[in-house]
Structure 1
Amino acid sequence: MNNSFIFRKNKKFSSFEKLLRIPFWLSSISILVFIYDFGFQRQPNELEYLFLVYIVTIIAGCFSLIGRYILKATRPRLKSLPFDLILLVLLLCMIIQYCGITSIELPIFLQNSFWLYFATAAVFLREFSALNLSFKRTIVNPVQLFIFSFLFIIVIGTFLLMLPNATYSRISFLDALFTSTSAVCVTGLTVQDTATYFTEFGQIIIIFLIQIGGLGIMTFASYFSYFFRGSSTYENQIMLHEMTDTEKMAEVFGTLKRIILITFIVEATGALIIYECVGKSLIMFQSDRIFFSIFHAISAFCNAGFSTLTNNLYDPALRYNYSMQMTIALLVILGGIGFPILFNLLRFIALKLKFWFLKIIGKKPAKTAPWIINLNTRIVLNTTLLLLLVGTILFFVLEYHNTLYEHSFGGKLAISFFSAVTPRTAGFNVVNVSALHISTLLITILLMWIGASPASTGGGIKTSSIAVAWLNILSIIRGKQRVEAFKREISPVSIHRAFAVIFLSIFVIFLSIFFVSIFETDKGILNIAVECISAFGTVGLSTGITLHLCGASKIVLILTMFVGRINMLTILIAFFKKSSTWVGRYPSESILIN
């Protein structure tokens, strides 16, 4: 009797769970309808059917939200309740507004059609997050999943950019692929002018690709799935642990949450400051100014370098807006310094504030760990500060009577600092790059090659790689057997990895320059070198030849951007079988070097 009851109960639950999947499929269809709605020219008689799909999806989303809380087995965890309540209120407001079932009149701001589209997208996000997604390591390993997720977004972005309403004139498949790759790989190289070629819908697609590419699709999908479900398979946790490089597996979802939270807080703050820095003289309408601020805040923090201005930040209206330039530079630095570094610094600041607060109120502070700022943070911060300082001084000296001539002394310093920041994978420019001295271009190439820091939104070989390589050289010069820094020994694995990354980067850059120089015989080797290293470092700076490249050169740069974002070593690790562990060792011999 009991067994029969359990069987019927399980069967009933299984049927109910299948019913809860209907809203997901409806919301998926509504996303496709949404793409058609905005991406194509609609006929007047189609609007009614499109509207019907949105409303049906919203009604289904209401039933789904309520239904999940009915059964204990499908009940979400308590942390997701506030979000679900807010979403439910929004969905009910949309039903009241568009179904006309009551005479209640909503506030004016809720009557905007934006909320209908937002509610539809929110239903899709909620239903997608509730799915039980699991990945089998026997089929795909974490590194392969990371690579395939980028490829997937690039392909989706390509077809979205080819929609009729995304551009003012037809865009070719290759140009759409180039732009999508540049956005997802947060590079900033463009074969079409973002300001005049793409519509506002096309620019929204680009900034969406930048945001997803900067943080990674797996970051969003994994965290929101965990947030609403409250659980994850052990296999998924292991995979995310390897992808996020967290110290403890239990900290995986906490790390993902902090990454998303810090990203949106910094970007929102940056957008507010940019909005205040941009006056009506540049952008008259408030809605356009808000979009401009959000676009550039996301582009800066993700180190993308895309701009909605034809001349980037070299536009005459912004060329002397030093406050905005410093805001952009700060966003680039925060995005490029790496999330582990930010977390470590925030922990240090929090402990220091706690220490000072307890001292002020007369309480004895508890003893804290003596090694709060770890070796990774120390190396990255010192290398970053050194590169910024040297880059600023060299740019100031070399360009004082050239591209900096029109600026005041304070302006020269601001432009020099900005120009030392952006080559390290951001790509914004406040000077005419093609007018720079050759010596300045060589310094810029070096900064582009080094790039940002590990686990950041930037590219390049990373600051830690060049720092470890230099420390190893110093150790050899001094006759040391170990590489040490800040009273710590750097592990041999880190040294091997740093030199592997450096060698592979030189190899990839050489191949890129080699092939582009074959296809572009009239561009000049220095211009080609800037273009290829900019693509590899996911920077986006160019001497102006990107728009005039042939199809074959564009394909080479697409591959270079992708390899630069993923890292060549990561790609090789993903597809080469690991050798079996052997405890024995062969006899060692010295090889003649130099």
Structure 2
Amino acid sequence: MEKKSSKNLSPVQILALGFGIVILIGALLLMLPIASKDGTVTPFIDAFFTSTSAVCVTGLVTLNTAEHWTYFGTTVIIFLIQIGGLGFMSFATLFALILGKRITLKERLIMQEAMNTFSLQGLVKLAKYILIFTFAIEGAGALFLSTQFIPDYGIGKGIYFSIFHSISAFCNAGFDLTGNSLVPYAENSVVILTISALLIIGGLGFAVWAEIYNYNGTKKISLHSKLVIGMTILLILVGWIFMFLFEMNNPKTIENMSMKGKLLSAFFASVTPRTAGFNSIVTSDMTLAGIFLTIVLMFIGGSPGGTAGGIKTTTAGILFMTIISVMKNKEDTEIFDRTISKGLVYKAFAISTIAIALIIIETMILSFTELGASLEYIIYEVTSAFGTVGLSLGLTPNLSLVGKVFIALTMYIGRVGVLTLLLALSNKKNGNTIKYPEGKILVG
């Protein structure tokens, strides 16, 4: 019966269940006395929260990563981040290939859901490319970071720090071992630009990078890749300019820095909210305008098929271009001289509406449970959890038990739930052929 029920599970259900199992295993490992520096058992809720944050590549923590966890604990965390960022199906495929096991149709369907691709064709080859590409980029990132971390921490610790932060950055997780994120390196161009590059590459999506890698000038770049690249560049540049303007006269953040430090910090503050979680300036010291801009960027997030969260750049792009089309009195949404199907537009609006509703409901719940916390702090924390970002104004370590549970649940939904909804909507066909008479409703 167990085998039968397992076969009846849809690919989407298997993905959601798989992430849940990985989170639980990670929590049990982090509870072990060997994982904490004081040699005691870490409370289940904190181990569970940390494991959820790692698997969901978020970065929100109730315990300071550098101060609480041993090398065993941080190694468990980085493995959870790697599995969560790439998806457990990528690793399952890797082990299957090593063992010479054939990938079944059912497994290919699950891989298609996990990688958010258009078809089943070439999935195993794509999985191989993803793993090779990931390890190559993370290795290069660690090499660059080691030039700065080895002089600061010594050879052994410096190499470990370099590998940890490279994986954490590429997977858009935001976990750090410095104890204060990248604030000590705010004016270090090597660290800031290396971490930024890893964040951007991880957030673009593997399908886009595969297309860029295979581009030879004869085949056109797909509409998906054009939209992803265009939206990514636009969000980074607009965020960079406004972050600089909002914080340039703030003595608590960048006012007293050199011009290089100001430009680096403003740039990083634009890149990192796109589901990364690192920060080179103290987030709670930012201006209200800077905090609000960060919330907007966290909500949008990265791109589909990568390691990022949020509603995704493509969803935001479709919404924006739909509004433009309405303003131009056009019947269809048009992007780069291509018409976007109404079904895709409906899905984009559905995802955004559900995301906003989730954040509103979560904010109301935490407003009730977290006495004394300001609305600004709660919205920031909830959006960070939903977008799997990990940036915090300092509320997370002080959350109540109920608050920790709900934030952990929000991280899980942000990593799996909205994606699951998208996949379910895109794969379920409506068998109802009845078409009702058109009705009229006044709007606006």
The TM-score range, normalised by the shorter chain, is over 0.9
When normalised by structure 2's length, the TM-score is 0.94
Q: 2:30 corresponds to which residue?
A: 161
* 1:146 corresponds to 2:6: no
Correspondence for 1:341: 208
Distance 2:135 2:183 in 1: 27
Distance 1:248 1:498, change over 3 A: closer
1:330 alignment partner AA = A
Taking only the aligned residue pairs, the percentage that are identical comes to 40
1:388 and 1:197, CA in 2 relative to 1: closer, same or farther beyond 3 A? same
State whether structure 2 residue 72 is matched by structure 1 residue 201: yes
Deviation at 1:405, TM superposition (A): 1.8
Offset at 1:425?
Answer: 0.4
Using the TM superposition, give the Cα deviation of residue 580 of structure 1 relative to its aligned residue in structure 2, in angstroms: 5.6
What is the alpha-carbon distance in structure 2 between the residues aligned to residue 563 and residue 385 of structure 1?
A: 27
Classify the secondary structure of the residue corresponding to 2:289.
Answer: helix
Quote how far apart the aligned CAs of 1:519 are: 1.0
* 2:231 partner amino acid: T
Shift of 1:275: 0.3
Structure 1 counterpart of 2:18, one-letter code = S
Answer yes or no: is the 8 Å Cα contact 2:387–2:411 preserved in 1: yes
User: Shift of the alpha carbon at 1:244?
Assistant: 2.8
Question: Is structure 2 residue 263 aligned with structure 1 residue 392?
Answer: no
Residue aligning to 2:53: 182
Bigger Cα Rg: 1
Structure 1: give runs of 5+ residues left out of the alignment: 1-133, 353-367
User: What are the Cα deviations for residues 261-288 of structure 1, in whole angstroms up to 9, with x where unaligned?
Assistant: 11101000000000012252x203x111
- Measure the CA separation in 2 of the matches of 1:545 and 1:444: 16
1:551 is matched with: 401
Per the alignment, do residues 526 and 248 of structure 1 end up closer, same or farther by CA in structure 2, a change over 3 Å counting? Answer: closer
Following the alignment from structure 1 to structure 2, what is the Cα–Cα distance between the partners of residues 261 and 165? 32
Counterpart residue type for residue 283 of structure 1 = Y
Work out the CA distance in 2 between the residues paired with 1:191 and 1:276: 31
State how 1:61-80 maps to structure 2 within 5 Å.
none
Partner of 2:43: 172
In 2: Cα distance, 1:181 partner to 1:135 partner: 29
1:57-456 aligned at under 5 Å gives the runs 138-169=7-38, 170=40, 171-229=42-100, 231-280=102-151, 282-284=152-154, 286-315=155-184, 318-348=185-215, 351-352=216-217, 368-369=218-219, 372-402=220-250, 403-456=253-306
CA RMSD after TM alignment: 2.0
C-alpha separation between the residues in 1 aligned to 2:355 and 2:330?
Answer: 27
| Distance apart, 1:145 and its partner CA | 0.7
- For 2:63 and 2:114, how far apart are their aligned partners in 1? 34
SS at match of 1:232: coil
Q: For 2:228, give the aligned amino acid.
A: V
Distance 1:137 1:475, change over 3 A: farther
Mapped partners of 1:320, 1:436: distance in 2: 17
The AA in structure 2 aligned to 1:513 is T
> Which letter maps to 2:209?
L
3-state DSSP class of the match of 1:480? coil
Q: What TM-score, normalized by structure 1, do the two folds share?
A: 0.71
Q: Structure 1 residues 578, 250: closer, same or farther in 2, change over 3 A?
A: closer
- Residue 337 of structure 1 contacts residue 380 of structure 1 at CA under 8 Å; is this kept in 2? yes
Displacement after TM superposition at 1:139 (Å): 1.6
Q: Which amino acid aligns with 1:145?
A: I
Distance 1:556 1:343, change over 3 A: same
Partner residue, 1:115 = none
1:187–1:241 CA distance, 2 compared to 1 (3 A): closer
Structure 1 residues 245 and 533, CA gap change in structure 2 (3 angstroms):
closer
Q: What's the CA shift for 1:579?
A: 7.0
3-state SS, counterpart of residue 455 of structure 1 = coil
Determine helix, strand or coil for the equivalent of 1:484.
Answer: strand
Q: Following the alignment from structure 2 to structure 1, what is the Cα–Cα distance between the partners of residues 337 and 166?
A: 38
Q: Which moved more, 1:448-457 or 1:243-252?
A: 243-252
> Are 2:186 and 2:265, in contact at CA under 8 Å, matched by a contact in 1?
no
Displacement of 1:343 in angstroms is: 1.1
Tell me: CA distance 1:556–1:245, structure 2 relative to 1, closer, same or farther (3 Å).
Answer: closer
Q: State the structure with bigger RCO (CA 8 A, min sep 6), 1 or 2.
A: 2
- Count of residue pairs brought into register by the alignment: 438
Q: Secondary structure at the match of 1:229?
A: coil
- How far the C-alpha of 1:249 sits from its partner, in A, is 2.2
The 1:226–1:444 alpha-carbon spacing in structure 2 relative to 1, beyond 3 Å, is same
Distance 1:146 1:475, change over 3 A: same
Aligned partners of 2:255 and 2:59: how far apart in 1? 27
CA contact (8 A) 1:135 1:235 kept: no
State the secondary structure of the residue aligned to 1:278.
Answer: helix
- Give the SS at the match of 1:567: helix
Q: How much does 1:374 deviate?
A: 0.7
In structure 2, C-alpha distance between the alignment counterparts of 1:427 and 1:434, rounded to whole Å: 14
